[in-house]
């Protein structure tokens, strides 16, 4: 028989082993979530690119697992509405909010069923409007069209392009059906981007080198036609799979501030599914910068980034409830105090946002957060664990964290918007899917 002294280390090792297995179970890499060869552009997901998009397959699988018999989904940072589309396909009513007008436009368009006969009438009209004779006349009359007045327009667009875009916009301005107008505006936004003098394949606004600029002569009419036809096909596919009843409401409130009941009723939500921003826009994804030219052409708010989470550096912040966050901030502060304060400002907003969102979810229901753990000053920020801590402080239990590889072809969505050289490959090879359950 073993003495107490001999038994003690065995018990200790057993306990460590059990804890380790438990941790593995609670946070595990699962390559079946990679969806390497999946079509991430199915249905209306083909509409418009955007930085750091969630992939529909992840949303779909989470909803299958955690939103059984759900009636209402809420996405507090809905972006272009990936989760909302997938919720509607499962006959779940979806509510999303985002502070970026371009994101709201795309999310609205992706979740709106249109009268296809009416759409086709407008598409035919538009084709007549941009007929070759018309184009010729219009280009000759180029200075007669009303060009928008915003700073740097000549820096980002050739004059000839401005004329074409202004003509397209004048056609859209005459559309009376709101859904169809949004459908055209969504294609217009992509056309603005592709017709601009920005370097292609980047989310940041970077101007092409001079030799490319001189030769660049985009046909904005052709560009918008190809977007419109692609999107029409996406809409048809969506109509084929979307169940009848579910709709989406796209809102414009900031979850960093308390959410009044008239925006969203307490304990009314069956599932939260979202991918939050993972840092302040100065150093990670500049959603506003990406959207600026489109927002300017559409005449909506274009200075968005400093209104987003972490957009303003705060002073005297104290965050309680996450030891791992405090330790991480200390490590960053050792290398750069200023950066540490910026990271802390972001997490102060993020914590408030989670506190407010928590009150909206029904008891026993799930919050699913798809997160990137970025690196600042060489130190990785375990945002997945910080998220779990913030939810635990609101009475949630940790259900699981699944780690997925981001396949190469998806890397630009998570990566290239970063404003920091070298952060690209180090940070975003993996995504963390954190699932929390309200007690």
**Member of 43, 161, 196, 254 binding ligand SAM (CB under 6 A):** 254
Q: Which of 92, 119, 224, 256 binds ligand SAM (CB under 6 A)?
A: 256
**Strands across the sheet containing 93-97:** 27-29, 396-405, 430-438, 361-371, 269-274, 72-75, 93-97, 248-251
Among all residues, whose Cβ is closest to ligand SAM? 79
Binding span for ligand SAM by CB under 6 A among 18-26, 137-145, 204-212, 253-261: 253-261
Residue with tokens 């005449």, as numbered in its chain: 299
Residue 275 is a binding residue for ligand SAM (CB under 6 A): yes
User: What separation in angstroms does the CA of 286 have from each of 309, 347, 416?
Assistant: 11, 17, 10
Number of residues that bind ligand SAM (CB under 6 A): 21
Question: Is residue 50 at the binding interface for ligand SAM, with CB under 6 A as the rule?
Answer: yes
Tell the smallest beta-carbon distance from residue 332 to ligand SAM (Å): 21
Q: Given the complex with ligand SAM, which of 161 and 402 has the nearer CB atom?
A: 402
Shortest CB 212 distance to ligand SAM, Å: 29
User: Is 82 a residue that touches ligand SAM (CB under 6 A)?
Assistant: yes
CA distances from 321 to 63, 209, 312, 351, 394 (A): 29, 48, 22, 9, 10
Span of 5-13, 91-99, 314-322, 394-402 interacting with ligand SAM by CB under 6 A: 91-99
**Span near ligand SAM by CB under 6 A; candidates 5-13, 167-175, 254-262, 325-333:** 254-262
Task: Provide the sign of the torsion angle of the four alpha carbons 138, 140, 142, 145, taken in this order.
Answer: negative
Q: Are 407 and 369 in contact (CB under 8 A)?
A: no
Q: Which residue from 101, 234, 277, 279 is in contact with ligand SAM, where contact means CB under 6 A?
A: 277
Q: In this chain, which of 43, 255, 283, 302 binds ligand SAM, going by CB under 6 A?
A: 255
| Closer CB to ligand SAM, 77 or 126, in the complex | 77
Residue 285: both structure tokens together: 């994804």
Kindly tell me the sign of the dihedral angle through the C-alpha atoms of 232, 47, 177, 72.
Answer: positive
Of residues 93-112, those binding ligand SAM (CB under 6 A): 97-100, 103
> Are 407 and 431 within 8 A, CB to CB?
no
Of 197 and 273, which CB lies nearer to ligand SAM in the complex structure? 273
Nearest to 371 by CA among 411, 321, 312, 430: 430
Burial class (CB in 10 A: 0-12, 13-18, 19+), 390: buried
Which one of 77-85, 189-197, 324-332, 398-406 is the stretch in contact with ligand SAM (CB under 6 A)?
77-85
Would you say 153 or 348 has its CB closer to ligand SAM? 348
Out of 250, 286, 308, 361, name the contact with ligand SAM by CB under 6 A: 308
Judged by beta carbon, residue 257 or residue 397, the one nearer ligand SAM is 257
> Measuring CA to CA, how many Å separate 247 from each of 231, 235, 236, 434?
19, 14, 16, 26
- CA 33 distance to own-chain centroid: 19
Indicate the DSSP class of residue 208: P
Q: Is the separation of the CB atoms in 321 and 389 below 8 Å?
A: yes
Phi, psi (deg, nearest 5) at residue 398: -80, 120
Interaction between residue 259 and ligand SAM (CB under 6 A): no
When asked if residue 163 is in the footprint of ligand SAM (CB under 6 A), the reply is no
Contact footprint for ligand SAM (CB under 6 A):
50, 52-54, 77, 79-80, 82, 97-100, 103, 254-256, 275, 277, 287, 308-309
């Amino acid at each position: 028989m073993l003495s107490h002294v001999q038994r003690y280390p065995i018990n200790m090792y057993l306990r460590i082993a059990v804890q380790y297995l438990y941790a593995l179970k609670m946070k595990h890499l699962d390559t079946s979530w990679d969806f390497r060869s999946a079509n991430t552009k199915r249905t209306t997901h083909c509409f418009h690119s955007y930085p750091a998009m969630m992939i529909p397959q992840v949303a779909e699988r989470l909803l299958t697992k955690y939103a059984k018999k759900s009636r209402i989904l809420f996405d507090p940072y809905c972006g272009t509405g990936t989760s909302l589309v997938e919720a509607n396909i499962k006959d779940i009513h979806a509510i999303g909010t985002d502070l970026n007008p371009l994101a709201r436009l795309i999310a609205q368009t992706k979740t709106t069923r249109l009268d296809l006969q009416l759409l086709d009438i407008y598409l035919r009209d538009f084709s007549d409007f941009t007929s070759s004779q018309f184009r010729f006349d219009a280009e000759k009359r180029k200075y007669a069209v009303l060009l928008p007045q915003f700073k740097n327009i000549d820096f980002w667009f050739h004059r000839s392009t401005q004329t074409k875009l202004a003509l397209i916009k004048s056609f859209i301005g005459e559309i009376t059906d709101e859904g169809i107008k949004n459908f055209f505006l969504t294609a217009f936004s992509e056309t603005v981007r592709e017709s601009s003098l920005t370097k292609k394949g980047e989310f940041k606004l970077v101007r092409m080198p001079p030799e490319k600029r001189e030769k660049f002569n985009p046909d904005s009419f052709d560009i918008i036609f190809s977007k419109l036809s692609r999107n029409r096909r996406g809409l048809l596919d969506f109509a084929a799979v979307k169940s009848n009843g579910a709709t989406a409401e796209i809102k414009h409130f900031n979850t960093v501030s308390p959410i009044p009941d008239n925006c969203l009723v307490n304990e009314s939500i069956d599932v939260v599914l979202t991918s939050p921003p993972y840092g302040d826009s100065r150093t990670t994804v500049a959603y506003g910068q990406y959207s600026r030219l489109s927002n300017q052409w559409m005449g909506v708010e274009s200075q968005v980034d400093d209104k987003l989470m972490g957009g303003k550096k705060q002073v005297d912040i104290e965050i309680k409830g996450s030891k791992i966050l405090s330790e991480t901030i200390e490590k960053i502060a050792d290398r750069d105090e200023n950066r540490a304060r910026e990271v802390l400002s972001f997490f102060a907003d993020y914590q408030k946002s989670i506190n407010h969102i928590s009150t909206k979810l029904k008891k026993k229901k799930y919050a699913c957060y798809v997160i990137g753990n970025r690196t600042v000053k060489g130190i990785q920020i375990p945002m997945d664990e910080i998220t779990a801590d913030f939810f635990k402080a609101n009475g949630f239990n940790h259900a699981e964290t699944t780690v997925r590889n981001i396949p190469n072809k998806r890397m630009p969505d998570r990566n290239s918007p970063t404003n920091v050289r070298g952060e690209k490959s180090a940070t975003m090879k993996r995504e963390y899917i954190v699932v929390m359950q309200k007690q």
